[in-house]
Amino acid sequence: MSSLLAVAAVALSAGTAFASEDLCTGTGPQKTADEVKAQYEAQGYKIKKFGTEDGCFEIKGTDAAGKKVEMYVSPWTGETVKTKTY
């Protein structure tokens, strides 16, 4: 029974470590939400939702080709650090 609890504890701690992973870290001045929105809109993205998650700006919408996209953007660099397309 104790080995089962140990396996469960390891599995839970691994899930917690992954969930709290910060994709966006940095130092110095950060870009504003308006700057990042304008940057991506100028590239043809249509932003439906904009927020923050795990230290990143999170953008949900469509790309220039009309595909649904979810992106995580560094507030320090304005660069996309993770993208999902649907």
Strand ranges (DSSP E) for the chain? 46-53, 56-62, 68-73, 80-85
Query: For 23-85, CATH number?
Result: 3.10.450
Return the domain boundaries, the chain: 23-85
CA-CA distance, 78 to 35, in Å (whole number)?
9
CA-CA distance, 77 to 86, in Å (whole number)?
25
Using a cut of 0.75, tell me whether the model's pTM lies above it.
no
pLDDT in tens, 23-73: 898 899 999 999 999 999 999 999 999 999 989 999 999 999 999 999 999
Backbone phi, psi, residue 31, to 5° = -75, 150
